[in-house]
Amino acid sequence: MTTLTLEPRVANLEDLMAQLTQNMSQLSEENRRTTSQVQKSSLQLDLLSKQVQLTERHVQQTSQRVDELAEEMQKFRAEMQEESRKFRAEMQEMAKNSDKNAKEFRRQMAELSHKMGTLAEDLVAPSIPRILAEIVNCPELPQMEGVRIRKRLPDGRVKEYDTIAVCGDYILVNETKSRLRSEDIADFVKSLEEVRDFLPEYAEKQVIGTLASFYIDPNLVTHGERQGLIMLGVVDGLMEILNRRNFVPKRF
């Protein structure tokens, strides 16, 4: 009886031990696999960490290079601004000297023309079209009709006009004096009233008169204005209008 009872228990125990051994073996295999996966994951993490470190280093180097480039660009911009400033200063100085030299040249030419008695030809005549355009609203470019124009009438009267220019409905008659006197103003006004007698081809034009000289006393400028004349004098080697601003000349 006792032997029969023990044998099934031993058999069960052996089965349990076999099952336990199998379970332990499976657990060990799972543990090995888990350990292997953990090692692989750890390796991947290490690689990822190295990649992150490399990326951070690259970003840091790139950022440093960008900062260096920005600094270099800032220095370059500052150098270019300084060079541009120096260049502009040099150009302004050259222009100033050039303008000064040009004015001195024109002044010397004006003095020479004044001494030689050729003020009308050298300085006045080239300025008349410009002055006429400033005075009236010309529909076209003023035309020079001549310098030192001499006219004689059948009745024996003779008249010489230093400079004549025409623009639209206007004719500008200029007289140039090496030295302007008060009586010259009255004589010129009288001659303007006779322009249509000597220049009948311009009978339909409105006559404007200009008196020019190398230097005109301010009192004579005022006197000429009151007679409706444009007074011209040499300024920086050029003939310029001496009348007050917004002066309207008389139409004869």
Mean pLDDT of 110-116: 48
Give the pair of three-digit tokens for residue 157: 């009267």
pLDDT of the residue at 187 = 94
pLDDT of the residue at 171 = 93
pLDDT of the residue at 1 = 47
Lowest mean pLDDT among 71-75, 88-92, 247-251: 88-92
| Separation of alpha carbons 238 and 75, rounded Å | 48
| Separation of alpha carbons 246 and 252, rounded Å | 19
> Is the model's pLDDT at 81 over the cut of 90?
no
pLDDT of the residue at 96 = 61
| Separation of alpha carbons 180 and 216, rounded Å | 7
10, with CB counted inside 10 A (0-12, 13-18, 19+), is exposed
User: Would you report the helix, strand and coil content of the chain in percent, each value rounded to 5?
Assistant: 65, 20, 20
Question: Of the ranges 47-51, 211-215, 241-245, which is most confident?
Answer: 241-245
Distance from the Cα of residue 191 to its chain's centroid: 48
